[in-house]
Chain A
Amino acid sequence: MNPRDLPSPSTSSRGPRGPLRRLLDLFSTIWTGIALLTMLFVYSSVGSAIPAFRQLRVFEMTEFEWFHYWPFKTLIALICLTLVVTTIRRIPFKPINYGVWMIHSGIIILALGSVWYFGTKVEGEAPVLRRQVLIEVPGAEPAAIPAVPGSTATVRTPDRTLRFEVSSIDPSWEILSGDDAGKRAYAINVAVQDGSSMFIRQLLAGYPQYTEDIVPTGDPNQPMARARKIHGKPLVNEDIKLSLDYQRQRYFYIVNSWALYLREVGQTEWVQRPIHGLPRYNDYFADRSQVWLPPEIAAARPNPLDVTVPAVDENDPLGETNIRITSYLRYAFVDERRLPGGDQLDPTAAVRLSSGRGTVDYQLVALDPIASTTESGRLRFQWVDSEEARLRLAEVKLPMIRINVIDPPAALEAPVRQTTRSNPGLGFRTIEGASYAYRVQFIQDELVLEPGRVVSMASVEIQSGDRSFTRWVFSDPSLNRDLPVDAGSDTAHERSMPLDENIRIEFVPGNLPPPVLLVAGPGDDDLHLMVTLGSQPPRFERIEVGQTVPIDKGITLNVLRFAARTYVETRPAIVSRSRRQRDAREHFSMVLVQLERGGITQSLWLPYHHFVFEDANHKLPRFSYSPSVVHLPDGRHIEVVFARRRQRLPAPVALEDFILTAHAGGFTGQNLSVRDWTSVVRFRDGDDWSEPIHVSVNDPKEFGGFWYFQAQWDPPVPQDGYGGMNYTVLGVGNRNGVNVMLIGCCVTVLGMIFAFYIKPLIKRRRQQAVYAQVAVDRHPKRRVRDVPTSQPLAEPVGAAKEQRP
């Protein structure tokens, strides 16, 4: 880079400098460029390395927004201005400076391309379902249901009602017969309930000729069979026509945007109201009583919002209703909690356990079997309705093990005081007179086998000679079973293990109280604490709310709040920052929307939706869909959804096929076993569909000015019997100006190569020419190499002042 060392304008013969000239001088100095680059460095570093900074309430910016904030734009503009002015005014355009000219020009071209690119950038996602099932029944309007397991449709004709439900899908169904035997196809099973009869119709995408029904046989050994075998024809009822069609997607959802969607109940089309100015990272609420606050911000000051969401669509069902958003929660969920008051007996206590390792708060509900216990059963809250009942709690009964050995006869009955779980060093106890020894591994109480059937179980390890095994002994002996100690340690041991009938064990559960039992009652203000540690007798004491009670060494309990009579209130609960999933983004956000019309205000909390589906049938697995309903005074019912803004695609898109390519060994559920995901899509081109287009990772495709790339997929869930690959999520975006940016970058690279590596060659050649000339002039017979080198022809790297271009 060779800025010319111009004489100072102030000393030039052109007289004093005017404001414009001073400004030009300012932007002609390298120091200005250095200062601007330094500021750019600081700005970028802060915004990128300290996300919490740009997420402060005063900014509430994503990375994209931070780098489109006016200070950034100003910095870039000033850098470009400096580049242009300096280059034109101080760097002569001649071959030796072509490099720096190219670098600076390339950056200006890149900046212009970036303005075009980022100024028009739109980016989003389009979920595309694979198929829908078209239903045609004589005498009824045609219907359609998306090919999603669980989606249903009811079709009524004058004389009957039919119910259709997509019972399952299989993305890789193998065709076993016919000309296409061995091929795999996307299969959809639709359960059809026609009055009292029922059958399943299997539809194969791309193979309508193989559509056939599966019907009940009444044979418990083979409950369902192909209609072809039972009735001699593939379809039991040919009047009912089911076929597959593409499920077209017309919209994509713009990233980092917000919108409300409205429609009257019963309508299918949503009307959008874009939301501008909504924060993103912090919680805003008008009143503390609106939300449940986590302890660390229990005293947070209200910080209400007032974001108006105007109607922009003439079909808006609430066109004259003023909609405002007054609260925004970044990470919350709707929660029911109990507050003191009312007549209903529902004892609730907020308890704080403290130890050297920290403090934990719990809310315990005495009459709720689950919410009454915490700390893995070590702390329980119980209500007693009489003083006698309270005193009975202190009566401890140990669990018992009874063992009977048949041959040789022996018996033993012993309380269970220790287990290997509580004491890993617990040894085996020999059963006198028998070749058996045992020890109890652990006891599990309140095992719910099915509703209403609760049992207890002791895991007993038994040794007999060289053999050892574990017996699960239930309070219901019919459930007992034996297991090898090291189940499946080799192929032989994995085989089933019969119950050793020579030893019989019974387990009688005890009523050991938990180490800490908080007892309320019989009076509304009565609160007692029963502590049972080890083999010591229970310690009972009356306690008060707010009193810190020592439990054991270093452990204390404090009942923060207690009320015997409570009522339930539902509010959004803000989740503590430490308990938020790091990659949850805005998925758990909520807004409080106020609808104002005719002096009447209605409020409702709306959870965030990633996509807005047409109805519950269209909901895709792993995405939520729960529209809220507003009942208007005029009798209308309006559904409202809070989601991202959507934009119409240039053409509807459909998913022809989804291909999962795996590495050797097939797909194992882990991403590293996947080689590629490919969505085979078609676009609606006029009245027809385009040819299939393959969109895969690293291979996006363009259609109608937008690029489509593979973003998400629908993985199988084997434990649920779900085959997955039923939809794809395409990334959608435009890329205006990318080629301009690329040209700018390439020019810059060429300029760098010229400046750093070609320029020295040019200069060397010139020096050689000078030396040669000097040699010829002074010593016509001497070679260039012999010329003395004391002349100061070398120059410092880029040293402006010493340079004499």
Chain B
Amino acid sequence: MTQRMAVVSIVAAALVLLVIAAVTYRQLAGRPEPAQRSAFAQEVDLAPLARIGVYEQGRLKSFDSFASSMMHLVSGPHAINGNSDGFSYLDLMWRPQEYEDADAIYVKNRPIRPEITDALRQSLDETLPGQLANLREIRGPADQELAEHRVREQFEQRMDRFLTTGLISSVMLLDPSVQALLDVKASDLMRTVNVVQQIRFGLAMMQPAELRSRLLIVPPPGGGSADGWMTIQEFARLGPDQIAEVSDAALPNAVIGAWDMLTLAWKNQNAAGVNDAVVELAELLPQISPALYPDQARLSWESWYFKIKNMTWVWIVYLLSVVLLVMSVVYRWTPARRLGLSAFGLAFALHTFALLLRWYVSGRWPNSNMFEAVTTAAWFGGCLAIVLEVLARRSAMRNQFALGSGVASMIALMCVHFLPVQLNPNISNKMPVLHDVWLYIHTNVIIFSYILISMAAVSAFLYVVYRVGGGKADYVRVGGAGALMLSKPTGESHLSETGSSAGQVFDGATMVLMELAFVMLWTGLVMGAIWADHSWGRPWGWDPKEVFALNTFIVLALLVHTRLKVKDKGLWTAILALGGFTVMLFNWIFINFVIVGLHSYA
């Protein structure tokens, strides 16, 4: 490797890391400052609630999982005052007055934030002089001006935070000027009605009555699995006949008593009382209908899974592996390779654990929503990388697959970590149409092909960097990239450490991955057509997602055929691999989120 190329590679890697760091910083800077948690919040121990099941949309969740999904609707990705979602849920329910002017509601849409700020500023201009008129009379104009200056300064600081974090108080959102703005936006059904619905939904979700009505924690006494769960209040209103279904006659009153104790203690900020009541509730509730109650171990694991933020922070371990593997690729430095592969192995092990845990708590293989599709696809990439690294251990391509998978997994986990609003981690039931074995066949094959395309894009990107850095127009010379994984008849690798250039290595890795992606994508498309045929009665409906999966395949077909004809095969392969990656991303992001189609639930 030339010195120049090494420098270019290092600069490119540094740039990538810089971008990642900038994104991370921006996200972290955008978070609200964790307010000083109250003594009560610090003393309260809600851990026993992890064993409580809550019914939500056909699924029995753990309390923490449920609270996470509910608070997600209110404060988006942010924790209110640095408290857990479970604490915030109960505090909002029992002490709503404390949150009237707290910046707790998340406004997801960025463009509307400055408009809300302007409306509030205009409202402040109108009301502030009147509010401070008394001050002028009593203390004089200087004090009034000083007070006005302070109010405006605080307002602007708050609005700055709002513009960055998206968090605003219900009082501000209920200001007539903001409501008038939202009314206007709500009338645009094509563009902005969803924005307003999200805000108003957040406002509604903060209401104690709404929070109470959703807390379905009591299983139906003596009922079957088709009978609905209920709130404590509904349970308290049950007739004698229904209550009689509970085996222990004293149990209903004990449950209601524990709940009332919890309510009272919470309102009085009595942490010890809350802790006692929580323990009692967690013990009593499952006894109402033991046969219907979900497995408590599963509930505990689910709570733990949400407490540790779905383990999406594993991206940091992947980042470490990527840095080391880049050094290994650039310098062919053995210690960096060993450390890089070890870090990759650790990241993959944690990733695998997170995946298996989600599988266990959700009761299904995780591939039913965007969060799961992204994380599972990345995991597939890790599995393949391990297999290819073993096969290519004597080839100069070694480290390429781990690096490709490391980068793809790191970005995937960063996406789900930093974009929890768009890639919602909550676990819910599948749509009825997804209850089919083809979900596991078709979807997994498709997302496998997507991660292959992503990994190929990494080596293609490295090839472009190599060429930009003055590398030779090298490409790998072997019939069928599959041959690259085989040794020569002489036992040597096709791409030996000493006899192959970086260009050949990057090109070889790209071709190995792209050819596999070519097969997997086509196979996945065919499987999707088979599923669509027996689900919707037609194999192909020209749905945007179908068309763009086909378009991705067309780009790959162009890659295969262009490589036959052009002279600079390596460069064209890299460009078209990146093109295929772009189309695939377009399909996964733009088509999923912007264009409504038959696959919009996926």
Contact = CB atoms under 8 A, between A and B. Distances in A.
User: Are A and B subunits of one complex?
Assistant: yes
Interface of A: 1, 3, 30-31, 33-34, 37-38, 40-41, 44-45, 47-49, 51, 63-64, 66-67, 117, 121, 123, 356-358, 360, 424, 486-492, 494, 534, 552-554, 577-583, 662-666, 668, 670-677, 697-700, 707-709, 731-733, 735, 738, 741-742, 745-746, 748-749, 752-753, 755-757, 759-761, 763-764, 767-768, 771, 784-785, 787, 789, 794-800, 802-803
B125 interface: yes
B436 interface: yes
29 contacts: A34-B565, A38-B558, A44-B548, A44-B550, A45-B547, A48-B544, A487-B209, A491-B259, A578-B189, A578-B191, A579-B187, A665-B225, A665-B228, A668-B57, A668-B228, A672-B58, A672-B431, A673-B58, A677-B432, A698-B433, A707-B537, A708-B537, A735-B539, A749-B526, A764-B486, A785-B490, A794-B477, A797-B478, A803-B479
Contacts of B118: 356-357
Given A30-B565, A491-B260, A41 B551 contact: yes
Query: 9 tightest CB-CB pairs across the interface, nearest first?
Result: A663-B58, A673-B58, A760-B483, A48-B547, A760-B480, A672-B57, A796-B477, A63-B542, A745-B526
B229 interface: yes
Interface string B414-440: 000000000000001101110110100
A789 B490 contact: yes
Given A746-B526, A749-B519, A760-B486, A45 B560 contact: no
A491 B94 CA distance: 12
A1 B564 CA distance: 8
Contacts of B477: 794-797, 799, 802
Contacts of B492: 789
B212 interface: yes
A672 B564 contact: no
A771 B489 contact: yes
Interface string B85-99: 000000001101000
Contacts of B494: 794
A1 B561 contact: yes
A34 B188 contact: no
Contacts of A803: 479
A583 B58 contact: no
A763 B483 contact: yes
Given A3-B564, A699-B534, A794-B478, 5 more contacts: A47-B547, A488-B233, A578-B188, A733-B538, A738-B533
Given A662-B58, A674-B58, A749-B523, A31 B565 contact: yes
Contact of A1 (B516, B544, B551, B560): B560
Contact of A784 (B126, B259, B438, B490): B490
A189 B433 CA distance: 34
A664 B483 contact: no
A552 B122 CA distance: 12
B208 interface: yes
Contacts of A677: 432
A360 B188 CA distance: 12
B256 interface: yes
Given A37-B554, A123-B537, A697-B435, A755 B480 contact: yes
Contact of B563 (A31, A663, A732, A797): A797
B167 interface: no
A48 B438 CA distance: 25
B528 to A, nearest CB: 11
B564 A771 contact: no
A375 to B, nearest CB: 8
Contact of B560 (A356, A487, A552, A798): A798
B536 A674 contact: no
A41 B555 contact: yes
Interface stretch (B20-28, B29-37, B70-78, B589-597): B589-597
B37 to A, nearest CB: 24
B372 interface: no
Interface in B197-219: 208-209, 212, 216
A356 B122 contact: yes
B229 A48 contact: no
Contact of A578 (B181, B190, B481): B190
B contact patch SS: helix
Contact of A748 (B522, B564, B591): B522
A257 to B, nearest CB: 16
Contacts of A534: 130
Given A51-B595, A755-B480, A796-B477, A44 B554 contact: yes
Nearest to B263: A490
Nearest to B518: A752
B226 A662 contact: yes
A491 B256 contact: yes
Nearest to B232: A491
Contact of B535 (A44, A697, A757): A697
A666 B433 contact: no
A488 B209 contact: yes
A798 B479 contact: yes
A510 B256 CA distance: 46
Contacts of B523: 749
Interface string B546-582: 0110110011011011111100010000000000000
A489 B489 contact: no
Contacts of B126: 552-553
B145 interface: no
B490 A771 contact: yes
Residue among B226, B491, B529 with the most chain A CB within 10 A?
A: B226
Nearest to B601: A671
Nearest to A485: B97
Nearest to B213: A488
A486 B97 CA distance: 10
B551 A44 contact: yes
Nearest to B175: A424
A799 B187 CA distance: 59
Contact of B596 (A45, A356, A491, A583): A583
B460 to A, nearest CB: 14
B550 A697 contact: no
